[in-house]
C-alpha cells in the first residue's frame, strides 16, 4: 500500500483486493505514515483513528482509494452515551425530541430527550452531570437500533467546541450496500411486426338496406342490447352471424369503474408495530377459551355511593378535590382476591413450565393516542379500593401523556380490560396478554327487569343493575372447570362486596369450593 500527502488529505492506494472498509475490520498500513506511537503497530482498527473521516470513493476501479481527512489527533475526556433499551423487548426506537441542545449543562437525572419505544414514548435522563457536547442522533431519527451512539458528554465546558466536527466512526465507516445493477434496458432493435392474418372483407349494412342476420344473432342481439345495424357481417353477402356478436362484445370498450376513493397511509409507530406483532402471536399461539357471566351489582353500587359520600366529606375538611370511586376499582380488587383463591389464573405459561405468582399484579388496559398500554397495580390484593382508584387515575394520566416509566407497565400477572365506560358495549372477548394466562373483559352496566326472587312477592319483576363479564383463559394453564371456579368467586365478591372486607387476603387459604 502506498500513500501520498495532498494538502490535508492522505490518499492511500491499496493494491490488495479490499472491497470495503468498516470499523470492525483491521487494516495493514505503511508504518512511516504515522507517528512513533503507531509506527510499531502493523495492524490497527478504525477505533484508533477516530480523528479521521473515512470514505471509499472509487469502489469500481482496480485500486481502492481510502480518503482520510485529517482531524485533531486526540479528543478531550468524554463519555459516549448509547441509545438505551427502555423495555425488555425494545430493539429499536425513534428520537421524538431533544430537550437539551449542544452546549447545555446537564445534571444527573435531567431529561435529555424523548424516545418512542415499542411500548410508549418515554423520557431519557442524563446518566451523569456534565455538558452535552455533541448530539449524534438528531430529532426525528427513526428505527435507531439499541446500542448506537446517541450523544457525547464532557465534564469541562471548554471541551464542547472540540466535538463540533465529531461523527460516529461506525456510522461513517459503515460499508455501503452494493449498488443495485441497472435494470436491463430494452433493445432499440425491434422485431419486425407480425402481420395479422387477413380476414375476408366485412360489409356494413347501408342505410335503407334490409338487415341480414341469422336468427340466433338476432336473438342474442336482443338479449344483449346490441344494434345489429352497426355491426359488420362476416357471413355470405355480409350476413351477421352469432360469432360477430361475440367479437363485438370482446372489442367493446370496458367502462371505467367509479373513481377510487381518496385515502391516507399512516405509518406505524413502534408501539403500534409491537401491539400488532404481540397480539397476532397471542391469538395464533395461545389456545383461548371464553367464559361469560352476568352479575347483579346493586349492593356494590350502594357501597360505592356511600364511600364516595364519605370521601367527599373528608375532602371538604382538607379543601382538596374529592376522589370518586369507580366500578372498575372494585373490579380490580375482586379480581385480585379471586386470583388468590384460584392461583392458576394468576400464573404464566413459560414454555417448559408454569410459573405461579404469589402476589397479584393487575394490569389495567388504558387506551392512548398511540395505542393500548397496560400500567400495573402492584399487589392489588393488599390495597383498598380508594388506593387502587388513586393509582389507576395517576397511571392512566401518565399513560395518555406518554410519561410512563418502564417499571410501571412491565410485568403484571392478570389483566382487566374495561369498555363499560363507553356505554355501547354489553360484552366482548379480549386477547390474553402473554405470558399471563387470563384477561377479564368488562361490558357496560345496564338496568333491567328480572323475575322476583320470591314467588309470593306481589311484584313479579324487580329492577337490577346488570353487568356482563367475560374471562379469556389459556387452556394450557387454566382448565375450563378452574376458570368457572374463578368466575364463581369473582361473582360473589362483586354481588356481595362486604365479603371483600370479611375475607380479604385471608380467603386465600380457603378451598376453591368455599
Residues 471, 478: contact at Cβ < 8 Å? no
Q: Is 475 part of the annotated catalytic residue set?
A: yes
**Which residues are CB-neighbours of 228 under 8 A, at least 6 positions away?**
205, 211, 213, 217, 218, 221, 240
d(CA 232, CA 209) in angstroms, rounded, equals 13
At 97, is the secondary structure helix, strand, or coil? strand
E strand or H helix at 315: helix 298-318
Q: HSE-up of 7 (CA within 13 Å, CB side)?
A: 4
CA 13 to chain CA centroid, Å, is 48
Residues 85, 162: contact at Cβ < 8 Å? no
The C-alpha cell 383461548 sits at 288
The C-alpha cell 404469589 sits at 358
E strand or H helix at 502: helix 498-502
**Which residues are CB-neighbours of 508 under 8 A, at least 6 positions away?**
340, 341
Residues 392, 378: contact at Cβ < 8 Å? no
The closest of 290, 365, 338, 380 to 494, measured between CA atoms, is 338
C-alpha dist (Å) from residue 144 to 82, 147, 339: 11, 9, 40
Reading the block at residue 389, the C-alpha cell is 382508584
Sheet hosting strand 9-14, strand order edge to edge: 2-6, 9-14, 64-70, 52-56
Q: Is 479 part of the annotated catalytic residue set?
A: yes
Helices 298-318 and 327-341 pack at an angle, to 10 degrees, of: 120
Give the count of beta carbons closer than 10 Å to the beta carbon of residue 109: 11
Give me the catalytic one of 143, 209, 401, 479: 479
Paired residues of 447 in beta bridges? 465
**Which residues are CB-neighbours of 9 under 8 A, at least 6 positions away?**
67, 68, 69, 70
Whether a cis peptide bond, with omega within 30° of 0, leads into 339 is: no
Q: DSSP string spanning 251-308?
A: HSPPPP-PPPPP----PPPHHHHHHHHHHHHHHHHS-EEEEEEEEE-HHHHHHHHHHH
347-361: b or e for each residue (b if 16 or more CB lie within 10 Å)? bbbeeeebeebeebb
The full 3-state SS of 349-380, as one line of letters, equals ECCCCEEECCCCCEEECEEECCEEECCEECCH
The C-alpha cell 448506537 sits at 148
Give me the catalytic one of 143, 156, 475, 514: 475
Residues designated as active site: 475, 479
Amino acid at each position: 500500500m502506498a500513500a501520498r500527502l495532498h494538502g490535508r488529505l492522505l490518499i492511500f492506494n491499496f493494491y490488495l483486493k479490499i472491497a470495503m472498509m468498516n470499523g470492525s475490520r483491521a487494516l495493514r498500513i505503511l508504518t512511516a505514515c504515522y507517528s512513533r506511537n503507531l509506527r510499531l503497530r502493523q495492524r490497527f482498527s478504525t477505533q484508533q483513528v477516530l480523528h479521521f473521516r473515512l470514505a471509499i470513493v472509487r469502489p469500481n476501479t482496480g485500486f481502492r482509494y481510502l480518503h482520510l481527512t485529517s482531524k485533531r489527533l486526540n479528543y478531550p475526556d468524554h463519555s459516549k452515551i448509547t441509545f438505551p433499551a427502555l423495555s425488555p423487548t425494545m430493539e429499536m426506537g425513534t428520537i421524538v425530541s431533544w430537550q437539551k441542545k449542544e452546549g447545555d449543562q446537564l445534571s444527573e437525572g435531567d431529561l435529555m430527550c424523548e424516545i418512542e419505544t415499542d411500548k410508549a414514548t418515554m423520557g431519557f435522563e442524563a446518566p451523569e452531570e456534565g455538558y452535552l457536547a455533541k448530539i449524534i442522533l438528531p430529532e426525528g431519527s427513526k428505527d435507531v437500533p439499541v446500542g448506537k451512539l446517541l450523544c457525547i458528554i464532557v465534564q469541562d465546558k471548554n471541551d464542547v467546541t472540540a466535538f463540533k466536527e465529531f461523527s460516529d466512526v461506525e456510522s461513517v465507516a459503515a460499508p455501503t450496500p452494493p449498488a443495485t445493477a441497472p435494470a436491463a434496458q430494452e433493445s432499440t432493435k425491434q422485431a419486425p411486426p407480425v402481420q395479422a392474418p387477413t380476414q375476408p372483407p366485412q360489409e356494413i349494412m347501408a342505410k335503407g338496406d334490409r338487415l341480414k342476420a341469422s336468427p340466433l344473432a338476432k336473438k342474442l342481439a336482443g338479449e344483449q342490447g346490441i344494434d345489429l345495424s352497426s355491426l359488420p357481417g362476416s357471413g355470405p353477402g355480409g350476413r351477421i352471424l352469432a360469432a360477430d356478436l361475440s367479437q363485438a362484445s370482446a372489442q367493446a370498450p370496458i367502462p371505467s369503474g367509479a373513481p377510487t376513493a381518496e385515502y391516507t397511509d399512516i405509518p406505524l409507530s413502534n408501539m403500534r408495530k409491537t401491539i400488532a406483532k404481540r397480539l397476532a402471536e397471542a391469538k395464533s399461539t395461545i389456545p383461548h377459551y371464553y367464559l361469560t357471566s352476568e352479575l347483579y351489582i346493586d349492593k356494590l353500587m350502594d357501597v360505592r355511593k356511600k364511600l364516595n359520600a364519605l370521601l367527599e366529606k373528608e375532602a371538604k375538611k382538607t379543601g382538596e378535590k374529592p376522589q370518586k370511586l369507580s366500578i372498575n376499582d372494585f373490579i380490580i380488587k375482586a379480581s385480585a382476591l379471586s386470583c388468590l383463591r384460584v392461583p392458576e389464573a394468576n400464573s404464566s405459561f413459560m414454555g417448559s413450565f408454569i410459573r405461579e405468582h404469589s402476589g397479584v399484579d393487575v394490569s389495567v388496559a388504558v387506551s392512548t393516542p398511540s395505542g393500548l398500554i397496560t400500567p400495573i397495580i402492584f399487589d392489588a390484593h393488599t390495597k383498598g379500593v380508594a388506593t387502587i382508584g388513586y393509582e389507576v387515575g395517576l397511571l392512566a394520566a401518565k399513560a395518555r401523556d406518554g410519561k410512563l416509566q418502564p417499571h410501571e407497565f412491565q410485568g403484571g400477572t392478570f389483566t382487566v380490560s374495561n369498555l363499560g365506560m363507553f356505554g355501547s358495549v354489553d360484552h366482548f372477548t379480549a386477547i390474553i396478554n402473554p405470558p399471563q394466562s387470563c384477561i377479564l373483559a368488562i361490558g357496560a352496566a345496564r338496568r333491567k327487569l328480572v323475575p322476583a326472587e320470591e314467588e309470593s312477592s306481589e311484584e313479579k319483576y324487580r329492577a337490577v343493575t346488570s353487568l356482563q363479564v367475560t374471562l379469556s383463559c389459556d387452556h394450557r394453564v387454566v382448565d375450563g372447570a378452574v376458570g368457572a371456579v374463578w368466575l364463581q368467586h369473582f361473582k360473589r365478591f362483586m354481588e356481595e362486596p362486604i365479603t371483600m372486607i370479611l375475607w380479604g387476603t385471608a380467603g386465600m387459604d380457603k378451598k376453591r369450593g368455599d
